[in-house]
Amino acid sequence: MPNEKHSAPRDDRRRLKLIVAYDGAPFRGWQSQAGGETIQDRVETAFEKILGEKIRVHGAGRTDAGVHALGQCAHADVPLTKLAPIDWRNALNASLPAQIRIVRANFVSQHFHARFSARGKVYRYRIVRGDVMPPLEVGRAWHVIEPLSDDLIRSAAKVFCGTHDFARFSANRGSAPESTVRTIRSARVRTAKSWLVIEFDGDGFLYKMVRMMVGAIVRCASGKESTESLRERLRTPAPGSRFVAPACGLTLVRVRY
Amino acid sequence: MPNEKHSAPRDDRRRLKLIVAYDGAPFRGWQSQAGGETIQDRVETAFEKILGEKIRVHGAGRTDAGVHALGQCAHADVPLTKLAPIDWRNALNASLPAQIRIVRANFVSQHFHARFSARGKVYRYRIVRGDVMPPLEVGRAWHVIEPLSDDLIRSAAKVFCGTHDFARFSANRGSAPESTVRTIRSARVRTAKSWLVIEFDGDGFLYKMVRMMVGAIVRCASGKESTESLRERLRTPAPGSRFVAPACGLTLVRVRY
């Protein structure tokens, strides 16, 4: 891949920024794959239908198969046409399946890059509790039957706040090594009788990091691990048992720039 | 069909009352049909798997293809076994697809009948407003793009409250004629920027009645019909233009006994 970060601005193109929402259930994640059926593939196909040419769509980051988005961000360099941003939004939506929607579109400077300009992201994880999983929550939340202590959820979530090496709370994607230090600005917990939501705001997230944090929080909240042991595990990065919460409970809420 | 209402109690059976929740999207409605793929068919199949015999499941009422339920009610006469109600719930759920869940089960008197003992029902209709339909709302709400006045929604909804002949707000199901007089106890409207919900509590609802009321309310709220004209239409039952809101926005919330 050429160095996208420093590609020269082009006079015959304008950079279009897109806010993309999707139901992750029917797709194999954001990132383009041989075999298609990813959200990026679908958005690129929609551009191709409109333009008659292939263009590349750059997302702020990957989301796994089954992960949803309210505000994924992406950009693409489109030819100079008479289409206003709202026309782009409508034209793309007309070519996309209902499970993928362009929520907003606007023209931005070619110095803006969906991935490299991102300063942080907000992810939300939804858990449904109780004996019976409500049918309308299937594919949209993790169903946890065992009782979870609200207090322990809050104290376990707090463990992750701040700057830590999250090596132990990420999966290897097989790509080049990079720093595994990240900063979680906040982990906001909202609870009700039948559900709970944890919202993480951080400067960046490693592969499967949110789902591993949620897996660990739920283990603490059900009494299988102490908050102290969790804090210790975070302090001493090393391979260890990992509990990955299912993808369906996760939503990329927004990308901060 | 034999006269179900007055069938004699049987000593070798117990009557099991079920509260059933379902995502209506993948099914052809509640009521058993040649060709199957209805919720009633699925629940009867689950009983057959457990008992090795076919038994009839009686619902409180039909819901159309695509209509959801949080609290449909049904009953079935099961053989005397050692299964407690919670065992019945769990055994049925183990045989049902995730889109159908038995929320609660309990034994009731054989004088209880899911349909004939019902004193009323609560239906909820959800509308999503705005230019773009959120992907996670697809199949769970009606997307209305044109602006709707909250005040007009409230005043139009109020038109239906009370006792009226709803002939003009129901579709012919091809069955024997019956009274088309029904009482709506309340039509509660909740609105927000991006959605609105109308909840009808009534002693009974005719075929497609909620969806026709919602269709009329939305016509009023978008300025296509005056509340006065709606009131007049309700007063003079006669054939007329009918606007049926889509099934996907409708949920049977509970049956009152």
| Strand pairing report for B181-191 and B162-165 | antiparallel
Q: Residue A223's pLDDT is what?
A: 94
CB B85 within 8 A of CB B106: yes
Smallest Cα distance from B137 to chain A, Å: 9
Structure tokens at A217: 């929080």
| Secondary structure of residue B132 in the 3-state scheme | coil
The CA distance from A246 to B163, in Å, is 49
Chain A residues 127-156 with CB within 8 Å of chain B: 132-136, 138, 140
Distance separating the N- and C-terminal Cα atoms of chain A:
24
Burial (Cβ within 10 Å: 0-12, 13-18, ≥19) of residue B89: buried
Q: ipTM of the assembly?
A: 0.88
Instruction: Indicate the pTM of the whole model.
Output: 0.91
In degrees and rounded to multiples of 5, residue B112 shows phi and psi of -75, 135
Residue A33 has pLDDT above 70, yes or no: yes
Burial (Cβ within 10 Å: 0-12, 13-18, ≥19) of residue B110: middle
The CA distance from B24 to B70, in Å, is 10
Cβ within 8 Å, pair A98-B21: no
Cβ within 8 Å, pair A103-B132: yes
Residues of A taking part in catalysis: 64
Structure tokens at A40: 């990026």
Cβ within 8 Å, pair A98-B134: no
- Whether A23 contacts chain B with CB within 8 A: yes
Of B101, B132, B138, the CB nearest to A132: B101
Structure tokens at A190: 């909202």
Chain segment B138-149, per-residue pLDDT in tens: 999 999 999 999
Residue pLDDT tens, chain B, 257 long:
444 555 667 788 999 999 999 999 999 999 998 888 999 999 999 999 999 999 999 999 999 999 999 999 999 999 998 999 999 999 999 999 999 999 999 999 999 999 999 999 999 999 999 999 999 999 999 999 999 999 999 999 999 999 999 988 988 766 655 889 999 999 999 999 999 999 999 999 999 999 999 999 999 999 999 999 999 999 886 665 578 999 999 999 999 99
- Whether B22 contacts chain A with CB within 8 A: yes
**Chain A residues lying within 8 Å of B132, measured CB to CB:** 21, 89, 93, 101-103
Cβ within 8 Å, pair A133-B98: yes
DSSP 8-state assignment for residue B51: H
Smallest Cα distance from B104 to chain A, Å: 9
HEC secondary structure over chain A: CCCHHHCCCCCCEEEEEEEEEECCCCCCCCCCCCCCCCHHHHHHHHHHHHHCCCCCEEECCCCCCCCEEEEEEEEEEEECCCCCHHHHHHHHHHHCCCCEEEEEEEEECCCCCCCCCCCEEEEEEEEEECCCCCHHHCCCCEEECCCCCHHHHHHHHHHCCEEEECHHHCCCCCCCCCCCEEEEEEEEEEECCCEEEEEEEECCCCCCHHHHHHHHHHHHHCCCCCHHHHHHHHHCCCCCCCCCCCHHHEEEEEEEC
| Strand pairing report for B142-144 and B120-129 | parallel
Name the helix (H) or strand (E) containing B104: strand B100-108
The CA distance from A254 to B13, in Å, is 56
Q: Residue A5's pLDDT is what?
A: 55
| Strand pairing report for B162-165 and B142-144 | unpaired
Cβ within 8 Å, pair A138-B93: no
Active site residue B151: no
